[in-house]
Amino acid sequence: MDGDLGMVRRLSQNVDKRKKGFTLIEIIVALVILSIAFVGISGQILSTRRGAQATFDEMKGIAYGGDMIDRIKTTPYSDIPLLNASDDDETFNKLKIGADEMVKVQKPYERKVTITEEKQEFNKKDDFKIKKVNVEVKWTVSNADDKGKIITRPVSIKLNTLVRKLVNY
């Protein structure tokens, strides 16, 4: 009996020794499956990166336009001139405000400022003078499509605000 049991032990040890590693075919199949998964994932990563860059560019454009609106809103009402699609140089000269700290952002962006004035009747005694401020920021985006072709498209944002002064008669 002991002899049969010894043989079973030896056979089971031999089977264990053969099952310890992976075959070359199993490794190649695993690598093929992983490479297919990585191709799909890398496409998603590139697409996400393009979207993130577009969002970043848009946020810079909004900050650039918002900077001008903040400057106008802190200018006394009587010093705010009427403008019609003025560029930065004309706007800064007419507003008599300090230097543009956003010069580093300015490079790909073009900012146009329009300021109009309206009189709003509140009641017979009081009128509101309102200046409408429109800031439009434009830039061009260039991206490569899936086939590697460069696509260029214009992008713009418009920011608006109102500045008012109460006039008593």
Residue 144: half-sphere exposure toward Cβ, Cα within 13 Å? 6
User: Which comes out higher in pLDDT, residue 158 or 47?
Assistant: 158
Is the pLDDT at 18 greater than 70? The verdict is no
What mean pLDDT value characterizes the chain?
Answer: 80
* C-beta neighbour count of 157 within 10 angstroms: 16
The residues spanned by each domain of the chain are 2-168
In 3D space, the residue among 25, 108, 105 whose CA is nearest the CA of residue 68 turns out to be 105
Q: Is the dihedral of CA 43, 45, 48, 50 positive or negative?
A: negative
pLDDT tens column, 115-143: 998 877 666 666 677 899 999 999 988 77
Is the pLDDT at 61 greater than 80? The verdict is yes
pLDDT for the residue numbered 9: 66
User: Which comes out higher in pLDDT, residue 116 or 89?
Assistant: 116
Helix axes 24-73, 88-95, angle to 10 degrees: 40
pLDDT tens column, 104-116: 666 788 889 999 9
pLDDT for the residue numbered 124: 62
pLDDT for the residue numbered 13: 64
